[in-house]
Amino acid sequence: MSRIFEIVPYILALGTIALGAFEIAKNWKEYKSSWLRISVSVVFMVVAALSIASLYHDSQEKKETKNKAEGDMKSLQSEVKTANQAQEDNTRLFLDSFRKMSTQVSDLKADVKTEELQKRLAGVQAELLKNQEAMAPGPKAELIFSFVPFYNPPSPGTPTPTKEVTVHPNSYGSVHVEFAIANPTKVDAIDAAIDLQICEQCRYAKEPLNFTRLRGMGEGTRYVNFSDLHALEASEAFNLDVIPPAGVTLMTVGFGYRCRTCTLHTGLSPETTGTIHIQRP
pLDDT in tens, 102-157: 665 565 555 555 666 666 666 666 666 666 555 556 788 999 999 999 998 887 78
Mean pLDDT (the chain) is: 76
- Mean pLDDT (whole number) for 238-255: 95
Per-residue pLDDT reduced to its tens digit, 1-23: 555 656 656 565 566 666 556 56
- For 22-67, the pLDDT digits (tens) are 565 555 555 555 555 556 555 556 666 666 677 667 777 766 766 6
Q: Give 208's DSSP letter.
A: P
Residue 192 bridge partners (DSSP):
226
pLDDT computed for residue 137 by the predictor: 60
pLDDT bin (cut points 50, 70, 90) of residue 280 is: confident
What does the alpha-carbon distance between residue 232 and residue 155 come to, in Å, rounded to a whole number?
6
**Strand spans (E) along the chain:** 144-147, 164-167, 175-183, 189-197, 203-204, 221-229, 233-234, 238-243, 250-258, 273-278
Nearest alpha carbon to residue 106 among 199, 247, 216, 198: 216
168-177, 226-235, 259-268: the lowest-pLDDT one: 259-268
Question: Is the pLDDT higher at 158 or at 81?
Answer: 158
Cα(254)–Cα(257) distance, rounded to whole angstroms? 10
Share of the chain above pLDDT 90, in %: 37
- Pairwise pLDDT comparison (267 vs 51), residue with the higher score: 267
Burial class from Cβ neighbours inside 10 Å (0-12, 13-18, 19+) for residue 57 reads exposed
Taking a C-beta distance cutoff of 8 angstroms, is the pair 276, 248 a contact? no
The phi, psi pair for 257, rounded to 5°, reads -155, 160
For residue 153, give Cα distances in angstroms to 148, 184, 207, 281: 14, 11, 30, 37
DSSP label of 222: E
Q: Are 241 and 173 in contact (CB under 8 A)?
A: no
* Residues 89-100: tens digit of each pLDDT: 555 655 566 566
Domain 144-278 belongs to what topology? Immunoglobulin-like (2.60.40)
> How far is CA 43 from each of CA 39, 40, 53, 212, rounded to the nearest angstrom?
6, 5, 15, 103
The reported pTM is 0.53
CA 150 to chain centre: 30
In a 13 Å sphere around the CA of 149, the CA atoms on its Cβ side amount to 3
pLDDT of residue 237: 95
- Give yes or no for a contact between 56 and 14, defined as CB atoms under 8 angstroms apart: no
Q: Is the dihedral of CA 67, 71, 77, 78 positive or negative?
A: positive
